[in-house]
Amino acid sequence: MKKSSALMLALALGMTTVTGLTVDGGQAQAQAGEQKFLVVFKQDSGLPAGYESVIANAGGSVKKAIPKLGAVQVTSTNPDFKSNIEKSNLVMNAGIENTIYPETVEGESFEMLSGTDAVDTGKADLYNRYGWDIKQVTNDGAAWNLPGGTGKSVDGKDIVIAVVDTGIDYTHPDLKKNYLYGKSFVPGVTDPRDDAGHGTHVAGSIAGVGRIMGVGPDLKVAAYRVFGPTGGAQTSDIANALMTAADDNVDVVNMSLGGYDWLQDPEYATKDVVADVRLFNRAIQYAIKGGVTVVGSAGNNNFDLSSPGKLSKELGYNGATHRSPSSQTLIRVAANGFELNRTYYSNYGVGKIDVTAPGGDYGTAWLETRDPALRNGNLRALSTVPGGYAWYMGTSMAAPKTAALAGLIIAKHGKDKLSPQQVKSIIQRTAIDINKPGYDGESGFGLINAVNALK
């Protein structure tokens, strides 16, 4: 498969690492003989009568069904399976299912907290010393004095943020109080416990309480683990996690996954990856229709997402590059630094960004010169990881703060009282205008602010 036609899911992993995802798609699977396909039916919920026979007649075998999303995962050794199955009037799209793997940006690495900082000197010591990002969102903790401001709902019900990620280290002392439950969607893995760090860092930004503090220290987090020991995740597993979170009546889903990117080249049809895109979008819409506010990170490539043709040229390809899901019902979050600058890695684009939140960087002095001596590592985002605490940066660190704010807003009004559209509107209209006056492509409607949102 051409790189320019690959579907890429950008998981913004990054301690100091800003991480993306690459896809091992059709070509690798073709060499293996048996291929995994996604078949998405025209009806967006339920599976049509006789679908198994249709798939069998095309040379495939159903391995996993997702009836609520109108899709199935299929294996086949028939090189003509895709063309065969697409002849059925029941099928909207079919394509080889992609597996996504993390890939770190060259020259970047994460940093665990060490030395004297690793010694606990008292409650919230790390928050007091390094929690600029949480303070930026909560006005130095002032939001915690407002109704709903800690995430404690006015109706006494738990407000739950689903973390669709690498899992959560539920043994971490700063997370045990607010960890509610976990589920694994990793084949062969039942434990939702995080062994990679990314999901635990995200969870700490949301609901940490201890040496660090999250935006909502009384919010609850639930792990929906989709990335396992191999680092890969299939589209059907991610979609299943999103659907299940909605069925579990969570309040907010955080996807520090960046969404789907696909690159269209006239020499290679994008129809071969549309099934992946469509299934993921169906899962997002299923959650939103179920009353779940969905938050996603904007991505870490410093790309202008509003110009598909220009983006392709920057990548050295023909055609057009698009980012998806691009539904207006999502909350799409860019990353800013301590000095309210757009971080050097954050994607941007008019109509593609809703708000910005602190994701961390090395400071504007370094940004202007790129002199390593001017890097200020304390301007990254510090949060929980298995075994301690670590500095990360990325739009993955910005999205969970926005997801947490959504949880606070829900807590103020009561569980299931607001629609996702209402939650999004409150976040947008109470954001602090930064950068250019009014809406702009770098910060959207502005920097999220919990005090404003809870007034």
Residues serving a catalytic function are 165, 198, 396
**Tokens read off for 290:** 């179920």
What's the start-to-end Cα distance of the chain, in Å?
52
Interior angle at CA 208, CA 205 and CA 209, nearest 5 = 145
DSSP-assigned letter for residue 108:
-
Q: How far apart are CA 236 and CA 72, in angstroms?
A: 8
Q: How far apart are CA 74 and CA 55, in angstroms?
A: 8
Q: How far apart are CA 245 and CA 230, in angstroms?
A: 23
Q: How far apart are CA 157 and CA 22, in angstroms?
A: 40
Beta strand 111-112 pairing with 388-392: antiparallel
Q: Which of 206, 134, 210 is nearest to 172 (CA)?
A: 210
Q: How far apart are CA 39 and CA 55, in angstroms?
A: 9
Q: How far apart are CA 200 and CA 112, in angstroms?
A: 13
CA torsion sign, 31 to 184 to 289 to 88?
positive
3-state DSSP percent of the chain in helix, strand and coil, to 5:
30, 25, 45
Strands laid side by side in the 111-112 sheet: 111-112, 388-392, 381-385
Q: Which of 392, 334, 333, 339 is nearest to 212 (CA)?
A: 392
Q: How far apart are CA 15 and CA 404, in angstroms?
A: 20
DSSP-assigned letter for residue 225:
E
Question: Radius of gyration over alpha carbons of the chain, in Å?
Answer: 21
CA torsion sign, 242 to 244 to 247 to 248?
negative
- Specify the residue for token string 């990335």: 227
Amino acid at residue number 284: I
Q: How far apart are CA 397 and CA 394, in angstroms?
A: 5
Strands laid side by side in the 35-41 sheet: 60-66, 71-76, 35-41, 91-96
Q: How far apart are CA 204 and CA 201, in angstroms?
A: 5
Q: Are 329 and 323 in contact (CB under 8 A)?
A: no
- Phi/psi of residue 196, nearest 5 degrees: -110, -35
